[in-house]
């Protein structure tokens, strides 16, 4: 809306800086934070002089940032406060941290995986990694991400998911496995088929798909020794919600390993669950054959 003259100040409630009375002076400059302020009119103010509220227009007038009292003030008079109300017919500027999502008129689904666009709609990002959930484990029996549990999304929203592991450690010498959740539980039947190459400073070992594994997809060996090993890792999970193809994953694990001369370890490979291609996977988890898990684990959805 256009205005002739000064644009109204709306709903900006301010208390002016303290003003020292000068004997024999009626006019004073109003400031907030040492900056001159100009009320809409004398009627948009509350003025207290010597503990008494003053009547606008007769006890004082306003011109710009100057307030002029009807008579000169004298030594001993006290301007208790001057509050500027702004244009009280309008809402004005809300206070910080007072507007919730429920107050927005935006359309679309509000969630941790969407964002608010400039056209006032919530949308899913079209490109990039979208953080779904981070779990910090300390002595946990497993780390699990289950669709619909604790704000986890693991469904057809994304065709690809990435699980990242940081400072992944175990409490005992153990093998770590990745499992899919299918039919309401994490599958442990002999249908996990894995092909990987394990490299250490001592040797290179290649494994084939000849032997299925009921523990899950073998990803690394965690050796504790005198100094615990710390692993980092990334698991790329493709089409977990498909009901026509097998659930597959590519993984890359690296880090320290203190077993004998094997000081550095890297495992990378791919695997799939061959038992059931007609049921969607509703979760993914990391498990050990013995001991407990610690570390930080984050699940991302990939959009392209």
pLDDT digits (tens, 9 = 90+) for 252-281: 988 876 555 556 778 888 988 877 778 899
Q: Which residues of 102-121 are buried (b: 16+ CB within 10 A; e: fewer)?
A: eeeeeeeeeeebeeeeeeee
Per-position DSSP letters for 224-278, written without gaps between them = -SSS---EEEEEEEE-TT-SSS-EEEEEEEEEEEEETTEEEEEEEEEEEE-S-SS
- Which of the residue ranges 120-134, 174-188, 201-215, 241-255 would you say has the lowest mean pLDDT? 201-215
Give the chain's domains with CATH numbers: 14-84 (no CATH), 128-303 (2.60.120)
Residue 96 DSSP symbol? T
CB 183 within 8 A of CB 191: no
Length of the chain as a residue count: 304
- Residue 286 burial (10 A CB sphere; 0-12, 13-18, 19+): buried
pLDDT score at 226: 47
Residue 212 clears pLDDT 60, i.e. is over it: no
The model's pTM is 0.58
pLDDT digits (tens, 9 = 90+) for 244-254: 888 899 999 88
Pairing relationship of beta strands 35-36 and 45-49 according to DSSP bridges: unpaired
pLDDT score at 22: 95
Residue 163 clears pLDDT 60, i.e. is over it: yes
């Amino acid at each position: 809306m256009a205005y002739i003259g000064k644009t109204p100040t709306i709903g900006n409630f301010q208390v002016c800086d303290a003003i020292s009375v000068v004997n024999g002076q009626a006019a004073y400059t109003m400031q907030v934070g040492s900056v001159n302020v100009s009320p809409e009119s004398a009627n948009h103010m509350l003025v207290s002089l010597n503990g008494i509220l003053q009547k606008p227009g007769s006890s004082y007038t306003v011109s710009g940032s100057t307030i002029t009292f009807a008579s000169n003030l004298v030594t001993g008079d006290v301007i208790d406060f001057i509050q500027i109300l702004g244009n009280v017919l309008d809402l004005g500027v809300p206070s910080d941290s007072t507007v919730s999502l429920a107050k927005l008129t935006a359309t679309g689904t509000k969630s941790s995986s969407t964002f608010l666009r400039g056209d006032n709609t919530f949308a899913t990002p079209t490109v990039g990694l979208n953080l779904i959930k981070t779990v910090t484990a300390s002595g946990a029996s497993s780390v699990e991400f289950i669709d619909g549990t604790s704000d986890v999304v693991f469904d057809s929203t994304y065709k690809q998911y990435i699980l990242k592991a940081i400072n992944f450690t175990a409490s005992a010498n153990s093998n770590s496995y990745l499992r899919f959740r299918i039919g309401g539980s994490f599958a442990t039947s002999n249908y996990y088929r894995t092909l990987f190459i394990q490299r250490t400073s001592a040797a290179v070992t290649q494994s084939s798909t000849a032997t299925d594994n009921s523990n899950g997809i073998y990803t690394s060996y965690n050796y504790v020794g005198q100094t615990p090993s710390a692993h980092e890792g990334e698991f790329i999970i493709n089409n977990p919600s498909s009901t026509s193809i097998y659930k597959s994953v590519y993984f890359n694990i690296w880090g320290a390993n203190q077993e004998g001369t094997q000081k550095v370890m890297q495992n990378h490979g791919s695997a799939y669950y061959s038992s059931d291609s007609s049921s969607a996977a509703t979760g993914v988890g990391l498990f050990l054959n013995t001991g407990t898990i610690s570390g930080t684990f984050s699940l991302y959805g990939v959009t392209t």
